[in-house]
Each structure stands twice: as structure tokens, then as C-alpha cells.
Amino acid sequence: MYEALDYAELITGLNLASCLLALTVYLARKSRRRAAQLEQAAFLLEQHGDQLERFLSDRGAPDDLKAVLISFSDALADRKVAGTLAKTLCRPVPHTSPMTEETNSLLAALEQLRSRRPDLADAFFGAIGSGMGGAFLRWDEPARNVEFMAVRILADPRNEVAAAAEGARLRSGIRFGMRSSAAMA
């Protein structure tokens, strides 16, 4: 009536079913995590657009800083730039190397803007931060580095400036810095 039960086949079948269940659970979790990252990316990119508009539409915003912000925003649309920025923010940055004259000019202009118009400085930094966050979460590779980046930036904010300067070198025509008025003469 009943055939002898082959325990080896039963165990093999149960192991296979267990593996398939574990894989399904893993993929479902990964999918939910990725969906949450993409949702956050959309939110941050919307904020980026709002902050960008706020800065660019204000007549008090310096034209040089407008150009830097537009150029940097354009660079963030490039997957390679986002990936390299993410990697740069995850590794130690040698702060002993001097910054370029263009980067020093940018930092000076931002300090002047912060003292004169803190609302515009907040919009500038808001556009940079939300743009970087949105770009990082938009693609898989940079998104995997987000947790490490947050810790590195919290540990030393100079990492963010170094990463932005690195990103500027990745695409020709992308500026992250300004020429000083003496260098323009």
C-alpha cells in the first residue's frame, strides 16, 4: 500500500524548500530596503530642487556661487560622479594636502555670504547636501556606502569638501571652486 519513505529524498526536498524560503525572505528585505532608499532619494532630490530654486532666484545670491551650484548640481546627475563621491567620503582624507586656490576662494565667498545673508548660505548648503544625499541613494553602489559616509562626515566635516572637490575633477567643465578676483585680473 504505502511505499517505503526515502528519507534522503525527503531531507533533500526540505533543505531545498528551506533554502528557497530563506532566499525569498532575503530578496524581499533587500527589495523593501531599496524601495525605501529610492523613496528617500526622491524626497531629497525634491528638496534639492527647492533649495536650488531658492538660491538661484534670489537677486542677492552671488553669480559665482550660482554658477558653482548649477555646475555641482549637474555633476550629481552623473552616476559615476555620485559613486566616486560616495567612495571618497568613505575613505580617510589627507587634510595635510593644501586646497586649491579655487576651493579657498569658494570657502571665503561662502563665509562672506554666511555673514551677509545666512538664509542664502543655508539654501546653498541645503542644495549641496540634499543633492548629494539624493544622488547617493538614487543608485545601488553609492547607496551601499551611505551609512559609512554619514559617520565619516560627522567625524570630520572636511571630508565633505574633499569629496566635492574630487567630484569636480571627474567631469570636465564642472566647477567646485572660484577664481579669486586677483587671479581673474
Q: Residue 181's pLDDT is what?
A: 41
Q: What is the mean pLDDT of residues 121-140?
A: 91
Where in the chain are the domains?
35-184
Q: What is the mean pLDDT of residues 104-114?
A: 87
Angle, helix 79-90 to helix 118-138, in steps of 10 degrees: 100
The conformational region for residue 78 under phi > 0 = left, psi -120 to 50 = alpha, else beta, is: beta
Give the pLDDT band (50/70/90) at residue 178. very low
What percent helix, strand, coil does the chain show, rounded to 5? 80, 0, 20
Measured between alpha carbons, how far is 19 from 25 in angstroms, rounded to an integer?
10
Cell of 85: 563621491
pTM: 0.70
Q: Cα–Cα distances in Å, from 35 out to 45, 68, 97, 136, 165?
A: 15, 31, 39, 14, 30
Place of cell 528585505: 29
b/e map of 59-91 (b: 16 or more CB within 10 Å)? eebbebbbebbbbbbebbebeebbbbbbbbbbe
Give the pLDDT band (50/70/90) at residue 185. very low
Q: What is the torsional sign of CA 80, 83, 87, 93?
A: positive
pLDDT digits (tens, 9 = 90+) for 37-72: 899 999 999 999 999 999 999 999 999 999 989 988
Q: What percent of the chain has pLDDT over 90?
A: 28
Q: What percent of the chain has pLDDT over 70?
A: 73
- Which of 4-13, 116-125, 168-177 is predicted with the least confidence, judged by mean pLDDT? 168-177
In the predicted structure, residue 36 carries a pLDDT above the cut 70: yes
Q: Residue 82's pLDDT is what?
A: 87
Cell of 29: 528585505
pLDDT digits (tens, 9 = 90+) for 68-96: 899 889 988 999 888 888 887 777 655 55
